[in-house]
Amino acid sequence: MLRKILIANRGEIAVRIIRACAEMGIRSAAIYSEADRFALHVKKADESHYIGSEPLAGYLNIYGLVDLALRTGCDAIHPGYGFLSENAQFAKACQERGLVFIGPSAEVIQRMGDKTEARTAMKAAGLPVTPGSDGNLDSVEHALQEAERIGYPIMLKATSGGGGRGIRRCDNPNELRQNYQRVISEATKAFGSADVFLEKCVVNPIHIEVQVLADHFGNTIHLYERDCSVQRRNQKLIEIAPSPQLEEAQRQYLGGLAVMAAKAVGYTNAGTVEFLLDSNGRFYFMEMNTRVQVEHTITETITGVDIVEEQIRVAAGLPLRFKQEEIVRRGYAIQFRVNAEDPKNNFLPSFGHISRYYAPGGPGVRTDTAIYTGYEIPPFYDSMLAKVIVSAITWEDAINRGERALKDMGLFGIKTTIPYYLKILAHPDFRRGRFNTGFVEANPDLINYSNKPRPEILASVLAAVVASHTGL
């Protein structure tokens, strides 16, 4: 088993990995920039190491992180998600220096990170793939020719893209001309690659992803699916496991496709195979994410499998502890990404000082976060503050529990997406389990909510103030 892991990340995912290490008897080493000097992951880890004054440079310094891991006696690196988590060069650098990279091989990361190559591999494996360009585009004229062949609307995508960046929908040739250089510029800045390709736009699909685990002994299983359809500008907001929109036959079909995809590319560790379901009931492979997902929490909740622990075990050369027939799901789980954003102001980031924070609790409630009362949210990173996860046996009970948990949660000093999510939970289509990727755009009235403090939150604040002055 591994002895000490360098966590090449920050925030809530770093805290999540630190907790897994603690349960497994593995020492954790955190890293932090000047902006993260007082971050929770720095306080939670067994040891912490400064990586420089620049907010991003240290987190993206491949060879600096590898050298740091070796100097501090680590035998493995966990990349979390974002930053270098899907960087093949990082995985290769770890391998070359004798460090265990907790993720798939550099070769698989490279292959699945290149979306055109991934499409080719999935076609060869027999998965349904959306119509698109064969390979990357070399000019706007080439793009226009391919779009004419495929048929509008189309999606112009960065080959190395992810996280909703480097992607534009084009409904006609003029929009394609306008967006071509924009996507190339965004892709170059965000991913270091100017390669782009075209894909047929599946209008307002249901977005389904399947969690897979694979070891080095040929064992590959799936942990069922997550529904990520509630999203804004290709950024996920609310995730659900399992999807309330799938029939059991569809669920088993997708699980089989995901396992097939993982085996076809020799995948190991944790990964996610993403699909789109169109209005005619057809599934299409979209992409494969070669890392732990933000929303892994809801899969853990319905299956009881600790995905981060399995990642570490597989990376250490141990076999999976579960066979497919042993994976049993129970009830529903919903995850809310609580972001420091103001929905009423076009979701403008709302960074700053958290004057008071209260985590929700009670049965079936989990909160993954790295914030605390008095924490100053730096403006250099993602706006996600916390993940509130609720679970219940029925879909209706899960929604009701989510409403209660979000109302329990108190975050003061900044604006968040909590009031917006409460409006979504009250929407009749959401409560019926009927929504697609166009849900947010189709319901702009959801931002019409009151900004007045809720009575239950005011009561908790007053109680805290009284207690602080009475010594209770």
At residue 378, does pLDDT exceed 70? yes
pLDDT value of residue 76 = 98
pLDDT value of residue 51 = 98
Mean pLDDT of the chain: 94
- Give mean pLDDT, residues 350-377: 97
- Give mean pLDDT, residues 352-359: 97
pLDDT value of residue 463 = 47
Question: Is the CB of residue 238 less than 8 Å from the CB of residue 230?
Answer: yes
pTM: 0.92
pLDDT value of residue 311 = 98
For the chain, the helix, strand and coil percentages under 3-state DSSP, each to the nearest 5? 40, 25, 35
Question: Is the CB of residue 31 less than 8 Å from the CB of residue 8?
Answer: yes
* Tokens at 254, concatenated: 């997708």
Type of residue found at 432:
R
Alpha carbon distance 82, 294 (integer Å): 9
* CA distances for 4 relative to 86, 235, 357, 422, angstroms: 21, 34, 32, 41
pLDDT value of residue 165 = 79
| Percentage above 90 pLDDT, the chain | 89
* Measured CA angle at 250 (ends 249, 252), to 5 deg: 65
Domains and CATH numbers, the chain: 4-102 (3.40.50.20), 131-200 (3.30.1490.20), 206-456 (3.30.470.20)
pLDDT band at 467 (very low <50, low <70, confident <90, very high): very low
pLDDT value of residue 450 = 77
pLDDT value of residue 466 = 46
Please confirm whether the linkage preceding 363 is cis (ω < 30° from 0).
no
| Exposure letters 44-77 (e unless 16+ CB within 10 A, then b) | bbeebbebeeebeebbebbeebbebbeeeebbbb
Question: Is the CB of residue 109 less than 8 Å from the CB of residue 87?
Answer: yes
Range with the poorest average pLDDT among 88-97, 131-140, 277-286, 293-302: 131-140
Alpha carbon distance 256, 253 (integer Å): 5
Q: Give per-residue pLDDT as tens, 222-251.
A: 999 999 999 999 899 999 999 999 999 999
Alpha carbon distance 472, 467 (integer Å): 5
At residue 456, does pLDDT exceed 90? no
Question: Is the CB of residue 183 less than 8 Å from the CB of residue 167?
Answer: yes
At residue 458, does pLDDT exceed 80? no
Alpha carbon distance 417, 415 (integer Å): 7
* Measured CA angle at 8 (ends 288, 191), to 5 deg: 50
pLDDT value of residue 455 = 54
Q: Strands 27-32, 47-50: parallel, antiparallel or unpaired by DSSP?
A: parallel
Q: Give per-residue pLDDT as tens, 202-223.
A: 999 999 999 999 999 999 999 9
* Tokens at 76, concatenated: 């493995």
Question: Is the CB of residue 21 less than 8 Å from the CB of residue 2?
Answer: no
Question: Is the CB of residue 422 less than 8 Å from the CB of residue 406?
Answer: yes
Q: Give per-residue pLDDT as tens, 126-176.
A: 999 999 998 889 999 999 999 999 999 999 999 887 667 789 999 999 999
State phi, psi for 45 to the nearest 5 degrees.
Answer: -70, 160
pLDDT value of residue 421 = 98
The neighbour count for residue 382, using CB atoms within 10 Å, is 17
Burial of 321 (0-12, 13-18, 19+ CB in 10 A): middle
- Give mean pLDDT, residues 36-44: 98
Q: Give per-residue pLDDT as tens, 409-451.
A: 999 999 999 999 999 999 999 999 999 999 999 999 999 887 6
Active site residues: 291
At residue 470, does pLDDT exceed 50? no
Nearest to 419, CA basis, from 334, 350, 342:
342
pLDDT value of residue 452 = 64
Question: What is the end-to-end Cα distance of the chain in Å, rounded?
Answer: 45
* Tokens at 132, concatenated: 């698109």
State phi, psi for 455 to the nearest 5 degrees.
Answer: -55, -40
Q: Give per-residue pLDDT as tens, 305-344.
A: 999 999 999 999 999 999 999 999 999 999 999 999 999 9
